[in-house]
Structure 1
Amino acid sequence: MSSLLARYSRLLKNKPILTNSVVAATLFASGDVIAQWISPDEIAFDRVLRNALYGGIIFGPIAARMYPYLAKHVHFPRKANVPASNFKDTTVRVVVDQIVWAPFGIALYMSCMGLMQSTPIDDIKKGLKQGWWSTVTANWTVWPLVQMVNFAFVPVEHRVIVVSIVGVFWNAYLSMKSNKSGL
């Protein structure tokens, strides 16, 4: 197990975007498989593929850049010569993640799913109007606590995998939600 973690860490160091993209693609697809497994229908592999593509091409590269950016540039405002507070910095990062990324990321996911299914733009807009806000507020019941722990205790290079692992269940929810709204 430790050699697997060491290899994963080397891959993250040498090819962070590719590594995070592969992990995200795998775990987005897994979330969709869980969502479909819960439903009475057979597994639609085109839907699994769409989720894998979103995770690998959209989410993975964004997250691989976003978490280091937040760690380096987002801090609680303080006066010169005042020591940093890890708790305050973590809280500010969570707020930025939840106020900026979460609403945008949910709209991006729902829109991408619609576009990959060749859904007309007007129908995508309608689906966003119907499901976006309830999905954002559901997000706020799960992710702030996850991100507090993630930002406070997980090294920045491992934050995408933490989000992706927890995200398997969130992605199952998103997949069910986006397919329920027709996206």
Structure 2
Amino acid sequence: MASLWRTYQGLMAKYPWTVQIVTAGSLVGAGDVISQQLIERRGPANHSLKRTAKMMSIGFFFVGPVIGGWYKVLDRLVAGGTKSAAMKKMLVDQLCFAPCFLGAFLCISGTLNGLTAEQNIAKLRRDYGDALVSNYYLWPPVQIANFYFVPLHHRLAVVQIVAVAWNSYLSWKANKM
């Protein structure tokens, strides 16, 4: 395990943006596998590889770049590594970024699932509130710790590790018709 961590650290130092994006896409995909197998109990024979590929693509092309970029912006908006700065970052993250990000995530997944604009809006109306409330149960304490203890270049990885459970929930929510 230590050797795997050292390899990850080395790749992160050399290719931070690429590693963050690949990590996000892989962990969003892992969340979908967990959703299909543990939450929905589909079994291996009924696992939708197409759905997992769609979710991974959201991770690679949306989650990784957007969250990775957001943390850079957030560090410029609220400078410092104090407890107070961590609390301010968490508040800006959860009150400004999270609601927009979550709505965009649900819309993108609906579009990739072939929903029409009207169906996507109806699904968003149905699922967004529950998803946002669930977000507020999980993410504020995680983000305070993340912003206070974790260096900027590792924040996306920390979030994505915690987000394996969150991604499982989001995948279930996004793919529930």
TM-score (norm: length of structure 1): 0.88
Moved over 4 A (4+): none
Instruction: Classify the secondary structure of the residue corresponding to 1:40.
Output: coil
- 1:78 is matched with which residue? none
Structure number with greater Rg is 1
- 1:146 is matched with which residue? 142
- 1:81 is matched with which residue? none
| Amino acid paired to 1:46 | K
Structure 2 unaligned runs (5+)?
none
| Amino acid paired to 2:14 | N
TM-score (norm: length of structure 2): 0.91
Instruction: Classify the secondary structure of the residue corresponding to 1:161.
Output: helix
Map residues 64-83 of structure 1 onto 2, 5 A cutoff.
64-75=68-79
CA contact (8 A) 2:81 2:148 kept: no
Q: Which string of whole-angstrom CA distances, capped at 9 and with x for unpartnered residues, describes residues 75-97 of structure 1?
A: 4xxxxxxxx67111101100111
> What's the offset of the Cα at 1:163?
0.4
1:51 equivalenced with 2:51 (yes/no): no
> What's the offset of the Cα at 1:105?
1.3
CA contact (8 A) 1:16 1:64 kept: no
1:133 equivalenced with 2:99 (yes/no): no
How many Å separate the matches in 2 of 1:13 and 1:55? Answer: 21
How many Å separate the matches in 1 of 2:7 and 2:71? Answer: 21
How many Å separate the matches in 2 of 1:162 and 1:93? Answer: 16
How many Å separate the matches in 2 of 1:85 and 1:135? Answer: 29
| Amino acid paired to 2:36 | Q
CA spacing shift, 1:106–1:85, aligned 2, 3 Å: closer
How many Å separate the matches in 2 of 1:179 and 1:158? Answer: 29
| Amino acid paired to 2:13 | K
> What's the offset of the Cα at 1:61?
1.0
Question: Percent identity between the aligned chains?
Answer: 31
Instruction: Classify the secondary structure of the residue corresponding to 2:29.
Output: helix
CA spacing shift, 1:3–1:127, aligned 2, 3 Å: same
Provide the aligned C-alpha RMSD in A: 1.5
| Amino acid paired to 1:45 | L
